[in-house]
Amino acid sequence: MAITYEWKIVELERYTDTGGVFVAHFTCHGTDDTTGTTASNYGVIHFTPDPDAEDFVPFAELTEEVVIGWIKGQPDPDSENFGVAVEAGIARKINALDNPTTEKGMPWVTESQP
């Protein structure tokens, strides 16, 4: 199964005195390239910005790609990193939609009946 993922930043929260971003709201949308099945994840991740750090990026200089990189690179206890974990979760959702293990309905009612 090949899935194309699209990450978007929905909102950033920052300190007014330093411009350091401490919260990022994001979505990750996955589409199975073969079936067209889609699934999404919305999340919030927290950072501890250090304006004295060498790699600190001022708010005005941030790009969506930089923040997505921060999110994807966060450690995750169950995976290589947070980005891998999010994408794996979306892949599981798509797989479950494409290969359902349960159904609902009543045997005495056909789909054509109201």
As averages over each run of 10 residues, the pLDDT of the chain (114 residues) reads 95 95 97 97 95 93 96 86 94 95 88 62
Q: What is the pTM of this model?
A: 0.84
> Residue 109 has what pLDDT?
83
> Residue 114 has what pLDDT?
58
What is the residue-wise DSSP string for 16-58? TTT--EEEEEEEEEEEETTT--EEEEEEEEE----TTSTT---
CB distance 9 to 62 below 8 Å: no
**One-letter amino acid identity for 37?**
T
Angstrom distance (rounded) from CA 24 to CA 38: 23
> Residue 110 has what pLDDT?
75
